[in-house]
Amino acid sequence: MKFKKLIRRINWYPPLLGMGIRVRKTDDDFRRFEVELRQKWYTRNLFGTHFGGSLYTMTDPFYVFILTVNLGREYIIWDQSAKIDFLKPAKGTITGIFELDEAKIDEIRASVEEVGKGAYDFATMLTDESGVDVAKVEKTVYVRRKRR
């Protein structure tokens, strides 16, 4: 699939590259992404911590990627909404893990096949180098079967 080749090059995507964000690991079936944000002088805010927009950007595409690759081209998949709660000032390297197991993907597929569309909620914690949670991100992803 052409999409898998694009994902392998995601670290070169300008919004991620420019903010010091990179995919550190992904599995072969693209159901898990480990993403990191390294603090750079140009991504700090006035207080010397990570700019909140950088924290959100590191979370933006990954649930859509997981579902797009695993559900296939017969589905339309979009981010519908997002919310980020900043729990403490973020410094250093921040990590986010985005993962959906096969059972959850099958559950979404079955639900969309039955109803035709749906919105699905996912949450991810962003952690600092010490393993302390610095932000919680909640995403709602819209999935619809393409018209046949």
Is 119 a residue whose pLDDT tops 60? yes
To the nearest 10 degrees (0 to 180), the angle between helices 62-71 and 102-115 is 70
Q: Contact at 8 Å (CB) between 38 and 51? A: no
Q: What is the pLDDT of residue 145?
A: 94
Q: Taking the complete model, does pTM exceed 0.85, yes or no?
A: yes
Tokens of 9: 């090059």
Average pLDDT over the chain, rounded to an integer: 92
Is 9 a residue whose pLDDT tops 70? yes
Per-residue pLDDT tens digits for 54-93: 999 999 999 999 999 999 989 999 999 999 999 999 999 9
Per-residue pLDDT tens digits for 22-46: 999 988 889 999 999 999 888 889 9
Buried-state track 35-59, b at ≥16 Cβ within 10 A, e below 16: bbbebeeebeeeeebbbeebbbbbb
Is 1 a residue whose pLDDT tops 60? no
Is 3 a residue whose pLDDT tops 80? no
Q: What is the pLDDT of residue 10?
A: 84
Q: What is the pLDDT of residue 13?
A: 84
